[in-house]
């Protein structure tokens, strides 16, 4: 892999992801569980990005430019079938944030995502799922006051404001709750065990 091609390769990974997402939304296939086609693409993207990280380290703005750095983060966020890769990226991203070479908000989203998949409370309330009332609500978090303090410290809005934004976005995208929430949760827990998030 040629180093000078890396930024463009990373953008292509993101574009493939977003194009497939749009296709699945238009076909009404996004709401019911983890779509197999999407899972395969996410895993392939993670493998390519992992190779890139082994060559250049974490893809910061300094190394690959703004667009590619964001694209890399999105690919990492979506690599949910690769727990070890996501955790490796979180560790590398944390080092870059401490050096002021990466955005603390990206780290917040990534650490929350990992916590959610490990069935642990999230710190920033960035991850949402359907609740028993058929509304999108934040996944488990420790304490609303602390969450909002943490969010404010890295330049995020309040969790209450973000909840409104997420719910409006879902309505605009015609994103509906699953027909059987209990079945979906059971499948999700089984999947987490299969890929290694939980035992």
Shared domain for 65 and 7, answered yes or no, is yes
Shared domain for 96 and 133, answered yes or no, is no
Could you report the per-residue pLDDT of 63-111, keeping only the tens digit for each? 999 999 999 999 999 999 999 999 999 999 999 999 999 999 999 999 9
Q: Counting every residue, how long is the chain?
A: 199
Shared domain for 73 and 140, answered yes or no, is no
Could you report the per-residue pLDDT of 37-74, keeping only the tens digit for each? 999 999 999 999 999 999 999 999 999 999 999 999 99
Shared domain for 182 and 134, answered yes or no, is yes
Distance CA 6, CA 162 (A): 33
Domains contained in the chain, number = 2
The alpha carbon of 196 is separated from its chain's Cα centroid by a whole number of angstroms, namely: 17
Q: Is position 148 within any domain?
A: yes
Shared domain for 33 and 90, answered yes or no, is yes
Q: Is position 110 within any domain?
A: no
Among 102, 133, 155, the domain boundary falls at 102
Q: What is the number of other CB atoms lying within 10 angstroms of the CB of residue 107? A: 20
Q: Is position 185 within any domain?
A: yes
Distance CA 111, CA 104 (A): 10
Distance CA 158, CA 40 (A): 34
pTM: 0.93
Shared domain for 129 and 90, answered yes or no, is no
Residue 68, domain extent: 1-102
């Amino acid at each position: 892999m040629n180093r000078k091609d890396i930024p463009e390769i990373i953008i292509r990974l993101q574009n493939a992801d977003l194009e497939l997402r749009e296709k699945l939304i238009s076909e009404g296939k996004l709401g019911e569980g983890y779509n197999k086609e999407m899972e395969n693409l996410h895993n392939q993207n993670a493998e390519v990005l992992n190779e890139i990280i082994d060559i250049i380290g974490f893809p910061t703005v300094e190394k690959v430019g703004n667009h590619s750095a964001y694209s890399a983060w999105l690919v990492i966020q979506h690599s949910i079938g690769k727990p070890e890769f996501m955790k490796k990226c979180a560790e590398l991203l944390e080092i870059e944030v401490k050096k002021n070479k990466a955005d603390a908000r990206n780290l917040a989203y990534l650490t929350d995502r990992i916590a959610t998949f490990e069935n642990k409370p999230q710190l920033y309330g960035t991850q949402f799922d359907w609740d028993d009332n058929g509304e999108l609500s934040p996944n488990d978090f420790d304490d609303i006051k602390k969450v909002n303090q943490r969010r404010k410290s890295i330049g995020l809005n309040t969790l209450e404001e973000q909840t409104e934004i997420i719910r409006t976005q879902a309505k605009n995208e015609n994103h509906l709750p699953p027909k059987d929430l209990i079945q979906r949760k059971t499948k999700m827990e089984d999947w987490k065990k299969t890929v290694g998030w939980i035992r």
